[in-house]
Every structure is written in C-alpha cells, then in structure tokens.
Amino acid sequence: MKLDHIGIAVRSLEQALKFYRDTLALACTGIEEVPAEKVRVAMLVLGGTRIELLEPTGADSPIARFLEKRGEGIHHISLQVAGLDAHLRRLEAAGVRIIAGKGEYGAGGHRYAFLHPSSCGGVLVELVEADPSTPSRRAGLRSG
Ligand code: CO
C-alpha cells in the first residue's frame, strides 16, 4: 500500500492552480471531469505522489456539500492497493464502513472505493486499485 494522492476540495480549480501550478511550480498532468462524482479534477505531480484538486460541478456534488460545511481544505487521502476486492472484503469483515464507489470505475478506468471517516480516525480514505486486471474503460484519464 502506498499514498496515491491527497484530495483537496477547492471552490475554483483556476484559482487553486494559480498557487499549486504557477506558484509552487508543480506539474499539472491534466484537468478532467468525473461525472459520477460531480467534480472537475486537476492532478499535480508531487514527488512519488500527487495532489488532486477537486472542484464541484453542481450544488449536489459531494464536494459542494463539503465546501459548504467545512470550507476549502483536505478532503481525502487516497491509498493505492493491489487487489481492491480482497481489501474491501477484509475491511467489510472488520466492520469498516464503505460509503461510495464499491469497486466502481473512476476516471482513468481505475477502480476505487471510499471508506467512511468514522472508520478511519476522522479521515475520508479512498482506495484505488494499482493495476486494474480489467481493461480501462476510459483510457487516457487518471484520477479517482
Ligand atoms: Co481521489
């Protein structure tokens, strides 16, 4: 298991990119829309990991609700795992609450799931599958 990315909720990608891309000078590998999560996503390379900026695309987006309650800030951490299904089975058996994307395909065709913060010390944890055994449904994109 390793850190895949840190997800940060922002009101405006353009505004946030002024800091992360232009001022910090992190490379932005692309901006994608992920309709399933109602977000626009910018990925920035940070050493062996990445920063994922998340902007809501509608008022009913989970990110819009997060911004309303907590304001901008760290939204989730994402851990890369091999064999997502086995991990989910083990976590479910241990009583961990799995709240979204139970092994669904996110952007990039990578499968993911979210674990409820109440099971993770107050942190929303995303699991993404390292090497999908099934072909990418949306090749070219990479997020989660
Ligand atoms: Co993420």
Ligand 1 centroid to Cα of residue 136, in Å, is 17
Go through the domains of the chain in sequence order and give each one's CATH number: 2-129 (3.10.180.10)
Ligand 1 centroid to Cα of residue 6, in Å, is 7
Paired tokens of 59: 């008022």
Q: If you average pLDDT over every residue of the chain, what do you get?
A: 88
pLDDT at position 103 is: 63
pTM: 0.84
pLDDT at position 37 is: 84
pLDDT at 139 over 90: no
Tens-place pLDDT, residues 3-60 = 999 999 999 999 999 999 999 999 999 999 988 889 999 999 999 999 999 999 999 9
Ligand 1 centroid to Cα of residue 77, in Å, is 7
Question: Are 34 and 105 a contacting pair, CB within 8 Å?
Answer: no
Ligand 1 centroid to Cα of residue 23, in Å, is 23
